[in-house]
Structure formats: C-alpha cells, structure tokens
C-alpha cells in the first residue's frame, strides 16, 4: 500500500477498509427490533432486516450459526439478536453479523395469533362440550397428512400392527405457502364423503415456523366444524397449536394418535380373558370365605342337634344357590366372550372383500352367459328393421320405373300446377338423374 499524504485521495477499497477497521473493535452487542424480509439462501445463510420506528439494519447469520438457532426468525417477530457490526469491503455494505436470536416478547405475528385465539375462544370453538368421543373400534381411519413424510408411514405401520382397519390417506401440503388451505380442504373433503369413522390430521415435528399452518384460522375452523371425530396428530410436545384446541382429541405425536384411535385386537382378547379369570377367582374367594364362615358357625354351635339342623340345611341351600349363581355368571361371561369374538370376525374387512369378490365372479359368469344371446337377438332385430326400411325406401319405387321430379333448387314437383313450358326439371331415377325441359303442360 502506498503511503498517503494529507492531500492524497483514498481508493474505495481503502475507504471501506478504514471504516471496517473502525467497526471491528466494537464489542459484541444485543440489538432488539422487528424482523422483516426474511430470506433463507440456498447456501444455508440467513438474511433479514431488523427495524424499529425510524431505522433499519441488515442482519446476516452464517450457515453454521443459523443451523443452531433455537428461534427461527419470521417476519413480524420482535427479537433480540446478538452479534457484531461489520462492513463488507468489496460491496461497501454495512450489516450486523448475528450469532443468536431470542424472542423479545410478542411480535406482530404472535400478537395476531393471541388475538385470534381469544376471538375463537369467545366464539366457543374450543369449548370442551363441543368435542366428540372417539369411536371404540373404528373400521375406517382417514389420515390427512403429507403422503411422503415419515409421519404417515409411522401411522400406517401402527394401525396395521394393532388391528385390521381400512386406511384412507388424504394427501395434503403441511408446510409452506398454501398449506393451510390444503389441510382445510382435505379435512372437509373426507368429512363430506362420510367414509371414515375417525380422522387423524397432522404431521411430524418441526420448528414453530414449520408447524404454523396448524395455527391458521382456516385450519382451526375446519377442525372445529368436522362432523367426523378428529384427532390433532402434530408431532410436538411443548407448544400448543390452535388445531390442538379445536380437535376432539390432541395427540402428542402421530404415532400416539394412531395408538389412541385403534385398540389392539390382541389386547381386547387378553382383556376379556383377564376379566373372565378375575371373575372366576372372585367367585372362588367368595366361596372360600363362605365355607370358612360356615365352619366357624359350626364350631360355635357344636352339636346342636335339632336346633342347628334347620340352619345347616339353610346354609347348604344357600351354598348351592351361590354355586349355581356363580356358574350362571361364568356362563354369561363365556357367551359374551363368544359374541364379541363373532363380532370381531364378522367385522373382518378381508372376509368382506372375499365375499364381494365371489359375488363379482358370479355376476361376471352370468354376463358371459347372457351377452352372446342378447347380441344375437339384437342382430336379428337389426336385420328385420333393415328389410322394412328397404321396402319403404323411395329408392325401391324408383327401381320399378317411377321417378322423382325436382326443380333446379332441389324442391320436389308433386303437381303440374306451377310448372310452365320451357322450365328445366330434373328426373331422379333409381340409377341416376336426367335433366329435361318442359315442352307441354297437360292437366289430368
């Protein structure tokens, strides 16, 4: 670098370098303001502006720091950024290079969310009395979610492991521009069809920005208006979304939603067996207690002869009645278990599908048998009608020596009236036509 005299001009690079040298000694600072113009570059760097009532500054967060952010900046957020002031020498642009972002309270976006929550609460959309009970044993479960995410795979796997249910996947967009409208339309479409017994709507975990569509009023109202029992199955644990409040039940994860929506058939069988065993043990304990009590009474009475004879007979009768009652109770439990088992077998969609396939095969066989006969009858009818048409056709009369007389404009001549000598006419015969000129007109 050449030495500079007091009168020597600075180059642009020298000027920017000197300004940068002035800024670099400044300490790490925390600056508060509202986020505007958020831009995630393809390289992973984050750019936005921080503004207040009268000024704004460009903020740069390099990729390494952006990946570690606990708060992802979004337009409208009021935040506190930590970093240093710097100047890019080549571009001559001043910016604030941040390494951390914290929420500074309610920004415009979060304030709007709070107001929306208060308004919808006042309307009663989150009232617990509006919520529906989830069906105990649904036959069809609809999944309103992204068809390519891990959440839908987890839910399908859990549902298939637990029971034989029909699964309908309603593909929607769950993040980014248009996600709210896509989610709401998916809920409304499957609800209007009435095909599902319960709806699971959600996605996997992510940042608050990723999950923001489930805070949109369009989605919240779709949840609240859904006539089919609906579960909010968004993968988050700490924050409560507005869709959670509007849903009939909130699941902490999509997997938990699938587990809650459908009971495990094996667990139901085990529960029935367990209840049956507990009932048997209870009856046995009661009988043992009664026998012990009877023994104590006998010991107290000793040999009472006629005095105790009637009591003993009464006790034996009560013992027999209790035994019969226990047997009847066990029989009722056994029949109930058989009824439940038959219902489970009858509700098996695989069996229903096999029956429908058998009916389809029978209908196809009938079609194969009746179709040739029907076609032959149609052919004969067509041939008959063709003969009639040929017999009635004017062409047939022309073949017997008749002719059709037409004027040059194509209109038919049916009478000598209106025909004059020297008129040009056309005679239409069976195999062609003749052009003639009238030489005389004679009325009949």
| CB-neighbour burial class of residue 230 (10 A; exposed 0-12, middle 13-18, buried 19+) | buried
Confidence of residue 1 (pLDDT cuts 50, 70, 90): very low
The pLDDT value given to residue 305:
55
Rounded CA separation 28/35 (Å): 20
Calculate mean pLDDT across residues 340-362: 79
In angstroms, rounded to a whole number, what is the distance separating the alpha carbons of residues 256 and 360?
Answer: 39
Evaluate if residue 412 carries a pLDDT over 60: yes
Tell me the percentage of the chain whose pLDDT exceeds 70: 91
pLDDT at 2: 47
pLDDT band at 339 (very low <50, low <70, confident <90, very high): confident
Query: In this model, does residue 6 exceed pLDDT 60?
Result: no
State the Cα–Cα distance between residues 208 and 116, nearest whole angstrom.
17
Is 90 exceeded by the pLDDT of residue 212? Answer: no
Q: What is the mean pLDDT of the chain?
A: 84
For the question of whether the overall pTM of this predicted structure is more than 0.95, the answer is no
pLDDT band at 192 (very low <50, low <70, confident <90, very high): very high
Q: Which helix (H) or strand (E) holds 143?
A: strand 140-145
Mean pLDDT, to the nearest integer, of 175-192? 94
The pLDDT score that the predictor gives to residue 133 is 93
Alpha-carbon separation of residue 354 from 60, 347, 349, 360, 369 (angstroms): 63, 13, 9, 10, 23
Cβ distance 236 to 256 under 8 Å? no
The listed range with the strongest mean pLDDT (148-157, 299-308, 337-346) is: 148-157
Q: Which pLDDT band, with edges at 50, 70 and 90, does 304 fall under?
A: low
The pLDDT tens digits for 365-408 are: 888 888 888 888 889 999 888 888 877 777 767 777 788 888 88
């Amino acid at each position: 670098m050449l030495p500079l005299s007091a009168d020597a001009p600075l180059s642009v690079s020298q000027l920017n370098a000197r300004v940068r040298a002035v800024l670099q000694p400044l300490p790490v600072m925390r600056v508060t303001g509202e986020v505007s113009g958020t831009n995630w570059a393809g390289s992973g760097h984050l750019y936005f502006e921080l503004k207040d009532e009268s000024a704004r500054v460009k903020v740069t967060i390099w990729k390494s720091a952006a990946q570690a952010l606990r708060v992802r900046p979004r337009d409208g957020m009021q935040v506190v950024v930590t970093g240093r002031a710097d100047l890019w020498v080549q571009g001559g642009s001043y910016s604030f290079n941040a390494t951390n972002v914290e929420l500074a309270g309610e920004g415009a976006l979060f304030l709007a969310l709070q107001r929306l929550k208060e308004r919808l609460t006042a309307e009663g959309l989150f009232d617990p009395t509006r919520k529906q009970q989830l069906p105990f044993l649904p036959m069809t479960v609809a999944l309103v979610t992204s068809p390519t995410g891990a959440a839908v795979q987890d839910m399908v796997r859990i549902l298939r492991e637990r029971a034989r249910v029909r699964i309908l996947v309603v593909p929607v967009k769950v993040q980014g521009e248009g996600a709210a409208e896509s989610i709401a339309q998916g809920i409304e479409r499957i609800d209007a069809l009435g095909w599902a017994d319960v709806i699971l709507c959600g996605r996997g975990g992510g940042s608050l920005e990723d999950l923001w569509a489930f805070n949109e009023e369009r989605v919240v109202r779709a949840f609240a208006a859904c006539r089919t029992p609906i579960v909010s199955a968004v993968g988050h644990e700490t924050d409560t979304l507005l869709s959670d409040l509007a849903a009939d039940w909130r699941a902490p994860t999509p997997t938990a939603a699938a587990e809650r929506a459908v009971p495990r058939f094996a667990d139901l069988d085990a529960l029935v067996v367990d209840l049956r065993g507990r009932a048997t043990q209870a009856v046995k304990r009661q009988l043992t207690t009664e026998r012990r009590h009877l023994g104590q009474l006998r010991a107290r009475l000793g040999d009472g002869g006629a005095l105790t004879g009637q009591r003993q007979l009464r006790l034996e009768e009560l013992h027999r009645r209790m035994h019969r009652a226990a047997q009847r109770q066990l029989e009722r439990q056994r029949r109930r278990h058989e009824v439940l088992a038959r219902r489970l077998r009858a509700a098996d969609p695989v069996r229903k599908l096999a029956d429908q396939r058998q009916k389809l095969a029978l209908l196809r066989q009938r079609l194969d048998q009746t179709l040739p006969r029907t076609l032959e009858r149609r052919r004969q009818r067509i041939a008959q009608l063709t003969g009639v048409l040929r017999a009635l056709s004017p062409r047939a009369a022309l073949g017997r020596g008749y002719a059709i007389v037409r004027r040059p404009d194509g209109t038919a001549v049916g009478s000598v009236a209106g025909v004059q000598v020297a008129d040009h006419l056309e005679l239409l015969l069976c195999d062609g036509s003749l052009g003639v000129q009238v030489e005389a007109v004679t009325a009949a």
